Structure 1
Amino acid sequence: MTARREASGDSRPQGALVMGAAVVLSIAAVWFTTRQPVLVGVFAAGIAAFGSIAWAFYRPKPVVLEPEQVIPDWSVTVAAIDRPDCAVAIIDRAGRLVCANARFEEWFGTGQAPPRLPVDNPSLERLAKAGRAGWRDGRGQADVVEGPTGRWRAEALRAGRGDDYLVWTIQPLVASDPVAELVPHLTGKLGRALAQAGISAAIVDPDGKIRIASPGFALRAVGDAAALLSGEDFVSLLRQDERDRISWAREGKRGAPLTMYYLPVADPDAAGGLDYEQAPSLMLLVDQGVGIGGGGGEGSAAAPHLEALLSQLPLGLAMADRDGRLLFANPAFMRAAGREGDAPPIYPTDLVVQEDKGPLSDAIRRFAQGGVSSGDIAVRLRHQPEDPVSLSLAGVRGLGEAAVLLGLTDSTEETRLKRQVAQATKMQAVGQLAGGVAHDFNNVLTAILGTCDLMLLRHTPGDSDYDDIQQIRANSNRAASLTRQLLAFSRQQTLRPEVLQLPDVVSDVSHLLKRLIGEKIQLVVTHDRDLGPVRADPTQLEQVIVNLAVNARDAMQARSESGGKLTLATRRVTAADVRAMRSAIMPQADYTALIVEDTGTGIPPDHLGKIFEPFFTTKEQGKGTGLGLSTVYGIVKQSGGFIFADSEVGRGTRFTVYLPVHNALPEERAAKAAKPEVVTEWAGGGRILLVEDEDMVRAVAERALTRAGYTVTTAADGDEGLEIVEGGAQFDLIVSDVVMPAMDGPTMAREIRKLAPDLPVLFMSGYAEEQLRKEIDIANVHFLPKPFSVQQISDKVGAVLSASLRG
């Protein structure tokens, strides 16, 4: 609220009269002195002139006062902060109490302003620290403030237009109800755990009535664990003999003597301390036990008995004292902390990384000194610093030195499963992407290779363009090998499996390996006897061996310039051996194993789980694509096998490939033993329906087949191809792509087979033949993988027509 004030000047009538009188007296003095009228007139005129000039320069002007802040109406502020649940006080920069509500006056009076309140010295320090933080940072907080009349939590907030006030809000700390907190635990898992440890527990009110009893207590007292004993007289369930020993009343004289321990269940931090006469008691009855509570003066034995109980629980539990020292940790806690079998450390902070030591120490100290409460804190353990875990803390009372209960769950298996699921999902997504890219790229390569073949038919060696065309074709073949690598990684390549012996494949590739690894590296090849045959693509197996050998060579060269030793071995692995391995991945069957072992640098443990991921490489930029081992993994898995890597840093790496032994089916053996049939070749010519949605591929295939002497009819998609057949056109063979917009190749083939059941079909695709056969499930169909050359499509069409003629 502001106001403006105006004034006409600072002159007053009295001042004007005084000035006039002075002028008259001056003129009169000149007259009496000189008696000359002229001189008196000149003097009077001068006085008038000087007076006029002075009036012009110094005449009073209206004064306009600037807006000024009106003193605030504190009664409005008092009404705003009048809260019955907390005390509110406002202080200024000088620390003076400006305003406070009635609750503040009731609790602390008005003689002192925060942070100087009638509380204990530690609380005064916390309040002073909160006040400094409030002036400096805008907000300060004191978690616990204790005084003669109660316990509070204080918060200071800087406010005002010039940040020149500090608003203190002081809220009472409500005492917890230990009995209400203990009841659900006593009737739940804690009660069952106590029963398993031979401890019967019940909460008894001061009048001797049972408020709640654990299932173990009910079972021993009345023989029914589900019985409700609330309201029953506690003493009536027990009997006392002549030697003052107590036992269960229902068991009579034959009952075993009991030891009873009791613990008052009340808030130890409540005002006035514990009231033993008015507080309910936790009664613990143990057969042949030792004192653990307030009965009998044997309370010092509480820790061993409690430790024995906690050590049997599957939950990771530990206890710490008020100074943050670890008093006890059960095996589950140490296992969850990655220290299974080790002795507990002196401090819980020794289990976490350096950055989390301070927050954990502060949390333990806060829970130890505050009221009975619980909470969680995220920490990173030293044995797995990349994965935060949740550590629960709870303040406890009545357990001797123990002040904080720590809880930690072993999440190793959960973390491992999460990583495996994430890895599998990522591999599947990247595999689908790689397969789709390779399929589309194969269409482009088919057009390039086919066009090069057609151009080479018009050029001879020595022509100016012949070498350039050959260079284009060579680069296209290199690109085709890359797409095959992508398909192998995604397990979508076309395999041509054969029944073979692994030593034969190793022997065929050994000469190439000697040139690849160099003269400094020793190559050792060993084989077991009686190896079972395997069914796999020999070309792809050679690629597996070459990739593993090249990686081994690089690892050995990185370790030493003097070379190393590369070992290739084949081993016979029986079902009993697999059973002894206790593998959860490999089925129990007979395998033939291929082992590739080197003496290189080894693989660090944090990299070992990632080596089969696509594009993961530890080589320098430009020296590795990260597809080598992922391709190996794809080939092995597509062949029905398994691959594992074992490594030790500084000593080398061993890859083991397990391929299942192939047992020939009766029909396969019969076909092998049968005499070969007389082969009838296709005489040449024929009518072909070519269906391909890619214009470049369709043009190349049409020219190749036309040049080979076939009559070719083309269609851009499945709908158009079906319309041509429905129009009455006759064909000897359908050559079609698989994936096309609208109607795809398999759907078109099924509709055409309704009109011409015996018409053979040749599918062209960049996807794996085995995968397509499973998805298509159409009889008498053949496959031609992309990319293909002019000669390959001509030969394949001729072979299919010859097969249909024999059929």
Structure 2
Amino acid sequence: MNVRTRLQVSAVLPVLLALMISVILYWTAEGVSLVTARFRTADNLALESARLNVTTHRYAMHPTRENQDRWLELHQRIGMLLIREKASSPDDQQLMEQIRRTHSGMRDLFVRLSAPARDPEQRVPESEDATLEAIWVKSAVMVGNVNTLAANGHKRVADMQERAYLLIVGVSAILAGLLAFSGLAIGRRIARVVQQLQAGADRVKAGDLTQSIPVDGEDELAILAGSFNGMMETLRQAREQLENEIRHQASTAQSLRETNVRLSASLERLRRAQGEMAQQERLQALRQVSEGMVHDLNDSLMPILGLSDYLMQFPDVMAKVDEVRDCVTAMHESATRAARVVRNLTEFFSPAGRQDAGPVDLNAVVKEVVSLLEPMWKDRRQAEGRPVDCTLHLGSVPAFHGRSMEVREILTHLIVNAVDAMTEGGTLTIRTLVEGSTVLIEVTDTGVGMDAETCLHCFETFFSTKGKDHSGMGLTIVRGCARRWGGNVDIKKTGPGKGTTLVVRLPMKLSNGIPAGEPVRKAPARALRILVVDDHPWVRQVIEQTLTHAGHTVVACVNGETGIKQSREGGRFDLAILDRALPDMSGDLVAQELKRGDSSLPVLMVTGFGEFMLGSGDHPAGVDRILSKPVTRDELLAAVADLAG
């Protein structure tokens, strides 16, 4: 027998009281159902907002039409939910108004963000980042307001439950007083169901949505218990859906991190490959000029070998002072030219990135590079019947702050490319000038020129029209060197069969001085006692004669061990001159031992590795000055005077 049947047996008043209880319970159930529906709407708003946030992130990573349409669809879906949702209190009405304004503002921002996708030329990465940040901020504000709306609904459910509980308890107390006998059974029934509802509410409050209230019978209380169970099931499904979405986002974040790691590794491999290809480009340029250098060296060595052989074969010529002086002068000039060729080659192949910034004399660097590369077109091309003429138009360019090695590298690649483009010979023109605060270097050839497609790709890494034996890094290296200075390189004019003019623009930072030229010979302040350590007898003899003729006392040693022993047992020396490559030990170690014995002893290292050491910054401990062989008399005496002074 249900509650209504039991109450009908009682008097009219208990029936009225029972009807009141039924009305209260029905009102409570309806209120719970209404709030439950609003829970669903709030949960749907939160879920759709989270999906909109994820879609915004996807569109930022991949701005495709599909992602744009997906974003607009989710935005419209949220708008429909906001239209259907009616606020039940002033606070909820204010929250709904804020959510609607935020929702409308997000669409305006997204339209602004997606506009560059339709017109890529209008894209401004900084503006896109700011717009995207604003969308995410509004999305976070909207999600926060939705969560607040859901929390308000939860509070109303709790208030309803509390009021229902109080009403039921009060009505049950009145009914218990009026119904002496039959009310007792109904009271126990109501109390048991209320206790079950209270226990279920406590479990929900603690976060346990897995338990349900036992439903026995088909009366109103059973219906209420069933409604409560249905609400718990709805909440459990919503929480599971939210947890699944969170797990999906975490998986997406992990996938993005892994992708970022793979991308970083790929970029590192690409950087290494570009470095290797740049080195191959330098080697290719070196191979192109090597034949001319060999020709230059042979031309320089010919007078040395020929005249020295002539003097040895005909000793009586030694009595003719003027003729001997002419022979020695010719051999000296030839040796100087050979040393200059070797020094230019060393500078050409030195890594430009290791050179410290300093004053750059642009016109002097242009002349050095032209002199270095001249055999490539002047001798070889002329021998092949394809002569190339070089014309220099060097303007008044003041010394500016930079790295001369990078300027040499820029000019080398531009000249090599220009000569390669003139397959049948032609004219190479190099011009330097200043425009405002910018230095301009123009390299013009009368070669085959470039079509529009080649101009579009010529600065791309690995792009080449010269065949598989060329790496395609030449112009890439030129642009990289220019941009490290804050400059750039552009094609000024070109066309098929019309030649090409490339112009390099470098910002000019004026320097206080110009690069040092040939050292100025200084007169020694006093006669010095000098220790010389070198295993080559002729080198040792030249140094000894030069210093002795200048008034110094020289003690010469053939290896490092003898030199160290002499410094310890042969009295005090004012200066030590030593080679780096000694037969028994390294000159670096000898310098350290000499300094250990006398820390004030100046050490001058004269070595054939000098240019490489200076170019790479290799300065051994204990060595005060490095000179590169071959060294002239003036250079040697100037270094001695500087160190001993």
Bigger Rg, which one: 1
Structure number with higher strand proportion: 1
Greater helix proportion:
2
Report TM bin, short chain.
0.3 to 0.5
Higher relative contact order structure (alpha carbons within 8 Å, sequence separation ≥ 6): 2
TM-score relative to the length of structure 2? 0.41
